[in-house]
Structure 1
Amino acid sequence: MSTLDLGLPARVPSPEPAGLPDAVTIWEVGPRDGLQNEQGVVPVEVKLEFLHRLGAAGLSIVETTSFVRPEWVPQLADAAEVLAGLEERDGVRYPVLVPNARGLDRALEAGVRDIAIFAAATESFTRRNLNRGLDEQFAMFEPVVHRAVGEGIAVRGYLSMVFGDPWEGPVPVEQVVSAGRRLLEMGCAQLSLGDTIGVATPGQVESVLRAFTAAGVPVSQLAVHFHDTYGQALANTYAALSQGVTTVDSSAGGLGGCPYAKSATGNLATEDLIWMLDGLGIHHGVDLRALAATSTWLAEHLGRPSPSRVVKALT
């Protein structure tokens, strides 16, 4: 792999399109969602350096790990060790995914102040991922969210299978909105809408977001999480921005996928997202060169090139 060229190609300024936000918060999921599918165990020291580099590049939210059971996701079995070794950077949030009450216990023991829970909009995926029904998952999450909020902890709700399910096909919008509202009503401060298998298209994204707005959910409480299975992640992100969304999930270098979803490829690459945001004149606060260098460094540790098109173009 070649050394990263720290220069960026000249870009012709373009008029800023109307109706887009002035700034976007990037919710970086690389250390958790990006690494969870890796077959070879990534050493703790590499994870800690990755976290350090992401914060140094200007990312203000870096989802760090998960307290999921080790047999479910072996790559994240070292969550407590990673958190113990983490040197937090001022101005950076380090959320942790918790699957249940025991996961919250472990997060509290580790001093975590920012958590996320992972629900789904479909019965089939909930059964496979949580071994519970669509309605049963909320009974499991409700005490977790209530306790966390009572402890002064910010809670984010992930809603997966929003745009399509590999077993059920297209997901009715009203079903998605109902599930999402239940997470918000139980106390989640933000809802991340996940295209878990990467089948969404821009019109579908707009339709779902408008349905949430019509149901009384402020767009400020919504985030988007796209996978790039069919090459639509950036187009879908643009559609979300046009509807007022200002938080976008992405993974440095385009790492990740969903271990429980057949054919789900990598997350939207943070570098690709930044390239688009820069072209639109939307502020994000991240140093693209530093981030691309970080993804190149991590790709060398993983033994394969970064999937990010921007990283490839800059190397």
Structure 2
Amino acid sequence: MHYGLFCHFKEHYHEAATVLDWTVRTKVSTSSMGTFPKQVKIVEVGPRDGLQNEKNVVPTAVKIRLIDMLSEAGLPVIEATSFVSPKWVPQMADHTEVLRGIQKFPGINYPVLTPNMKGFEAAVAAGAKEVSIFGAVSELFTKKNVNCSIAESFQRFDGIMKAAQAASIPVRGYISCVLGCPYEGKISPAKVAEMGVSVVDASVAGLGGCPYAQGASGNLATEDLVYMLSGLGIHTGVNLQKLLEAGDFICQALNRKTSSKVAQATCKL
């Protein structure tokens, strides 16, 4: 099981990328650079977590094109869709069509979210090669999000894990609310062990937000993350220019402005 960092961030970046670059280069001391990983794996969640909260249904063809553009940008993991009930998340009702319609680039993983056995079985039938399950540190968030307790959510995972193991399908585990919860507030660091994290989730153009968490501020913009890591000399394998193009594409399709500070600065330049 691979544990990624799945949490909503409130961004406090400076308006211009040049200022961001200055901040990175001046505030990070030479001594601390040695503690950073040489490489960071970015998990792109825009096509799933980024779009699931959109009020208007995004056309399937747009979702497929977005994922293909993200693949062309070199992102190693792209969460393609979610096999949940259309009753609860209508935006993901076309999950099978999306998964079957995207180009599968060599070396790129396309996990899909599967909250229960029914979703897992549907995902496998659609050709999923990797699935994701999600829990949370917060009892209230777990209740609001999946209508059960943390303990009960782990019981649900057990069936999926056994079925995935039997089918030789990798499972990625999410832990929500590791830094804070919109219902419970601050989360005690002692409740979550976060050491040496080198896998970070982000969403193109900063899209996203949980439909069951009022006031959720969205996700960290992938463009800003790639820019920052590049400035720190940390390898991601992502082409920033192609990533910016993907962000521009989906923002035009949604008729909204990007939340990426790097993309905003690029437009101003």
User: TM (normalized to structure 2)?
Assistant: 0.85
User: What's the secondary structure of 2:217's corresponding residue?
Assistant: coil
- Is the Cα–Cα contact under 8 Å of residues 182 and 216 in structure 2 kept in the other structure? no
SS at match of 2:186: coil
Alignment partner of 1:86 out of 78, 84, 102: 102
SS at match of 2:75: coil
Please name the residue that 1:44 is paired with. 60
State, as a whole percentage, how many aligned pairs show the same letter: 46
Partners of 2:251 and 2:42 lie apart in 1 by 21
2:241 alignment partner in structure 1: 289
- Is it true that 1:277 corresponds to 2:239 in the alignment? no
Between the aligned partners of 1:166 and 1:249, the Cα distance in structure 2 is 19
Matched, 1:300 2:252: yes
CA distance in 1, matches of 2:265, 2:185: 35
Asked if 1:68 corresponds to 2:84, the answer is yes
Uncovered stretches (5+) of structure 2, i.e. residues with no partner: 1-16
* 1:256-306 Cα deviation digits (max 9, x unpaired): 011111211120001000111111001101111111111111111100111
Per-residue CA deviations over 1:203-251 (Å, capped at 9, x if unaligned) read xxxxx425xxxxxxxxxxxxxxxxxxxxxxxxxxxxxxxxx32111101
The question of 1:266 aligning with 2:218 is answered yes
Q: What does residue 37 of structure 2 align with?
A: 21
Residue number among 194, 208, 211 corresponding to 1:209 in the alignment: 194
Whole-angstrom CA distance in 1 between matches of 2:228 and 2:237: 14
* SS of alignment partner, residue 42 of structure 2: strand
Show the counterpart of 2:200: 248
> How far apart, CA to CA, are the structure 1 residues paired with 2:41 and 2:189?
26
Letter in 2 for 1:132: C
CA RMSD of aligned residues (A): 1.9
Cα distance in structure 2, aligned partners of 1:136 and 1:70 = 23
Measure how far apart 1:51 and its partner are: 0.7
Structure 1 alignment gaps of length 5 or more: 1-7, 178-207, 211-243
CA contact (8 A) 2:65 2:102 kept: no
SS in 2 for 1:27: strand
> Which residue identity does 1:252 align to in structure 2?
V
Aligned AA (2:106): D
Deviation string for 1:66-102 (max 9, x for gaps)? Answer: 0011111111110011112122111111000001000
| Residue of structure 1 in register with 2:184 after alignment | 168
Amino acid at match of 1:44: T
Do the aligned partners of 2:42 and 2:76 also contact (CA within 8 Å) in 1?
A: yes
- What is aligned with 1:310? 262
Secondary structure of the residue that 1:314 maps to in structure 2? helix
Residues 27-38 of structure 1 correspond to what in structure 2 (within 5 A)? 27-38=43-54
Letter in 2 for 1:101: M
Any conservation in 1 of the 2:100–2:127 contact (CA below 8 Å)?
no
Cα deviation for residue 129 of structure 1 reads 1.3
State the 1:168 CA deviation: 2.3
- Scaled by the length of structure 1, the TM-score of the pair is 0.73
More relative contact order, 1 or 2 (CA 8 Å, 6+ apart): 2
Tell me the CA shift for residue 142 of structure 1. 0.8
Matched ranges for 1:112-131 at <5 A:
112-131=128-147
| Residue 149 of structure 1, CA deviation | 1.8
- Distance across 2 between alignment mates of 1:166 and 1:30: 21
